[in-house]
Structure 1
C-alpha cells in the first residue's frame, strides 16, 4: 500500500511501512538446528515525485493568461502526474468543451507515456530528419500506437514534459489545445516557466518556436 506525503512544494508517493501481524514474542520456538531469523527492519522509500494540486493549478492559470495576453483562440489546459492521472483541467469560456479538453489531455499523456514532448513524438513518426513526410512504415507505426492508446496520444505541438530541475525526474506534463500548434506549445511553456515554481522546474522543449506573439 502507498501513501501521499506533502513536502514543501512536492507531493511524494511512498510505500507504507510493513506492519507485521505477529510480534517476535509470539513466534513459536525454532528447532535447535534452525538458523535464527534476521532482525526485521521497518522501512519506507520514495517511489515518485509529482506536482501538487496548487502547483498544477497555478501553471494552468498562467497558461490561460498567456493565451489571453497574446489574443490566441480560447484554449483548454490539462496537467497530468507522471503516471498519467489528471491533476487539473481548465478551459477558457469559449473553448469547445467536447473537443479541446480531450486533445489537451492526449498531448499531456503523450509526454508522460513517451518521455518526450508531443512535438518530438510527431516529428519522430510524421517526418524524417530532413523534414519530409516519414516513410509509410514509420507513419503506420505511429498510427498503431495512437490506436492502441485509444486515441489518448497526440502527434502535434502543445504537450510539454515537466521535470524537477535539480534531480531531472519527470514530475508531470502539461497539454494545451485550442490555438495553433506553436501557440499551444508557447502557452504550455509559459505556464511552467512564468509560474512561481518555474525556477525549480525544467521543460521539454525548453524554448518555443511561436512567431505570432504580440510585442
Structure 2
C-alpha cells in the first residue's frame, strides 16, 4: 500500500525505467543460409560443366537462364538475412520465411541436377546442326540405336525436358522479334502492366530484352 502519491509516482517511474533499460531478447536466432546455398549452386555448376550442354542448346539455354534466376533468389535471400541478423528483435515469421525460401531454392537445385544426371535418351534435345548431332551420338557412345531413332525420340521429349527444368514456372519463352515483356504479361496474366513480375523473376531491368533471351514466366503472386 502507498500512503503518499509521491510513492506511487516513484514506483511507476522505477518500473518503467527498468523495463525500458532491459535489452530486448531475440525471439529467434536466424540461420544464415549462405553456406548451404553456395554449396548447392556449386554442385549444380559442377554437374552442368560435366555434361556437354554446349551441344544441346535447347537444354543448355534454359538451364543457364534458370541458374541466373536461382542466383537472383540467392542474392535476395542473403540480403534479407543481412538485414535482420544484427537487429535486436527477429520475428519468427522472418525466420520461417527465409528458411522456406532457402529450402525451395535447394529443392530446385536438386531437381535440375537430377534432370542433368538422367542418361535416358529422351533427355537429349535435337539440334539442326549435323555436327551437333554427331557430337551427341559420339557422346552417347553409339550404343542406343541409330542416329535417326535417337534424334526422333529427342524431338518428342523436348517439351518434357524443358518443363522438368522449370517446373515452378508457367512457361519458358525465347524472345522473338518485336516481342516484349509487356506482350508476355498480357498473354499470361491478362495485363501488360504486370511485366515487372516477369522482369524481377529473370533479373531483367526493362521490358524489352534482346531477341533470343530465354525468359521464365513465373506464377503471379497470389496464384495465376
After TM superposition, the score normalised by the length of structure 2 is 0.26
Which structure would you say has the larger Rg?
Answer: 2
After TM superposition, the score normalised by the length of structure 1 is 0.27
**Hey, which of these two has a bigger chunk of helix by percent?**
2
**Hey, which of these two has a bigger chunk of strand by percent?**
1
